[in-house]
């Protein structure tokens, strides 16, 4: 196949739609994306890809979703970013929506689990391998282990996940004492304007939603809050999501929540797509 240095929007959408349809394993999908974008298509060089992956790892949200947006941004600007983000997330959303409808009708996923038992074992192995690889990369000294052990202990006490993240961040600042220094220009003016406009649009839409339907507004702000504080990808969002949906609002029992997580794991794409299941289960399609 001939390599394309300047892909069209159609190329980007179809490529990321295919990646989103065939990729399993959450964070482990980064290797799948790298093979397709760097090794096969050669749309990005390895250094640019790795820099984007590192950036996506230090900001909150689903890492693989953000990586898709980053690749689109580097290749075709803001429009390319939106095309890649939508193309990548659409297959998982459609599959999760169908599974959610089937689940709500039967209240049981035993049939799904039977069919996908082998796949779940493979996914566990993929995620375990990804945890090992990223752990090996990030656990570089004693301070990293201290922060990890303290954070794990705090999670076991069922402390609010945001507080655990805040404490871990403060420990990181205290123990590492890195001099960040000047970082230079972070973005171009048009990119800054785009995100400023996006922020205004989100604020306006949230305000309208508050007056139109306060329950939908509550759901939207919960998901925004979860995504804002879910450092480390979709798996890191699960404890926060459990606290919000099960402990705080009592929208689901523990079994239903875990069923949603299972469906999120066996669905291609990021595990954060489980949010589709929770939204449909509580509010339906409309």
Is 134 strand, coil or helix? Answer: helix
From CA 49, how far away is CA 33, in angstroms rounded? 10
pLDDT tens digit sequence for 157-208: 766 656 776 777 778 777 765 544 444 444 455 556 666 777 787 788 888 8
From CA 137, how far away is CA 2, in angstroms rounded? 34
Residue 199 lies in a domain: no
Residue 195 lies in a domain: no
Q: pLDDT over 70 for what percent of the chain?
A: 71
Band (pLDDT 50/70/90 cuts) for residue 1 is very low
pLDDT tens digit sequence for 60-101: 777 888 899 999 988 988 889 999 999 998 988 998 898 888
Residue 227 lies in a domain: yes
pLDDT tens digit sequence for 16-71: 999 888 876 666 678 888 888 988 888 998 888 888 887 777 777 778 888 999 99
* Count of domains observed in the chain: 1
Domain that holds residue 258: 9-179+208-283
Average pLDDT, the chain: 77
- Which phi and psi angles does 43 have, rounded to 5°? -80, -30
Percent helix / strand / coil, the chain, rounded to 5: 80, 0, 20
Residue 184 lies in a domain: no
For range 227-238, the mean pLDDT? 69
Residue 185 lies in a domain: no
- In this prediction, residue 136 carries a pLDDT of 67
Residue 203 lies in a domain: no
Residue 125 lies in a domain: yes
Judged by average pLDDT, the poorest of 51-55, 131-135, 180-184, 231-235 is 180-184
Which burial class, exposed, middle or buried, applies to 49 when counting CB atoms under 10 A from its CB (0-12, 13-18, 19+)?
Answer: buried
Residue 151 lies in a domain: yes
From CA 143, how far away is CA 126, in angstroms rounded? 27
């Amino acid at each position: 196949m001939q390599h394309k240095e300047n892909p069209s929007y159609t190329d980007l959408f179809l490529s990321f739609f295919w990646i989103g349809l065939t990729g399993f394993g959450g964070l482990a999908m980064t290797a799948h994306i790298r093979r397709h974008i760097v090794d096969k298509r050669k749309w990005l060089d390895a250094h640019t890809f790795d820099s984007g992956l590192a950036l996506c790892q230090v900001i909150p949200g689903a890492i693989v979703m953000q990586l898709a947006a980053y690749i689109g941004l580097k290749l075709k600007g803001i429009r390319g970013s939106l095309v890649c983000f939508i193309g990548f997330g659409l297959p998982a959303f459609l599959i999760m929506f169908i599974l959610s409808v089937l689940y709500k009708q039967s209240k049981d996923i035993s049939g799904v689990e039977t069919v996908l038992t082998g796949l779940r074992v493979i996914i566990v192995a993929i995620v375990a391998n990804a945890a090992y690889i990223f752990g090996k990369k990030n656990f570089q000294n004693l301070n990293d282990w201290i922060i990890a052990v303290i954070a794990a202990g705090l999670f076991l006490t069922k402390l609010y996940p945001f507080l655990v993240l805040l404490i871990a961040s403060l420990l990181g600042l205290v123990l590492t004492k890195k001099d960040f220094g000047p970082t230079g220009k972070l973005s171009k003016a048009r990119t800054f304007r785009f995100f400023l406009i996006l922020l205004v649009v989100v604020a306006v839409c949230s305000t309208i939603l508050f007056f139109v339907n306060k329950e939908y507004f509550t759901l939207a702000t919960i998901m925004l809050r979860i995504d804002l504080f879910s450092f480390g990808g979709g798996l890191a969002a699960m404890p926060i999501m459990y606290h919000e949906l099960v402990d705080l609002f009592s929208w689901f029992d523990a079994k239903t929540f875990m069923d949603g997580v299972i469906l999120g794991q066996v669905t291609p794409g990021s595990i954060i797509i489980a949010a589709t299941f929770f939204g449909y289960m509580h509010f339906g399609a409309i």
